[in-house]
Amino acid sequence: MCSRYLGSESSNLKLKLSTKTISLRLPEILLARVKIEVNKRHKSYQLLIQIWLSDDVKGSRRS
């Protein structure tokens, strides 16, 4: 495991997160769509997927 700092989209707070490398199989078309969004937002695709997953989990916990 390694430690990384991830900046919050809504603030300048830096949170120290423990991360673990995983392998994720995605349909090629889905990965292509993610990469299109990455280019629009100027982020790495790993970071963008992390943000989307985090937002989805947070939203699910509120329900």
Q: How far is CA 12 from CA 21, 28, 31, in A?
A: 25, 34, 29
Does residue 42 form part of some domain?
A: yes
Q: How many domains does the chain have?
A: 1
Write the pLDDT tens digit of every residue in 27-38: 999 999 999 999
* 47 is a domain residue: yes
Asked if the structure places residue 5 within a domain, the reply is no
Between 17 and 41, name the one with better pLDDT.
41
- Per-residue pLDDT, 2: 43
Q: pTM here?
A: 0.62
What are the tokens at 25?
A: 């199989």
For 17, the 3-state DSSP assignment is strand
Q: Would 34 be classed as within a structural domain?
A: yes
pLDDT confidence band for 45 (50 / 70 / 90): confident
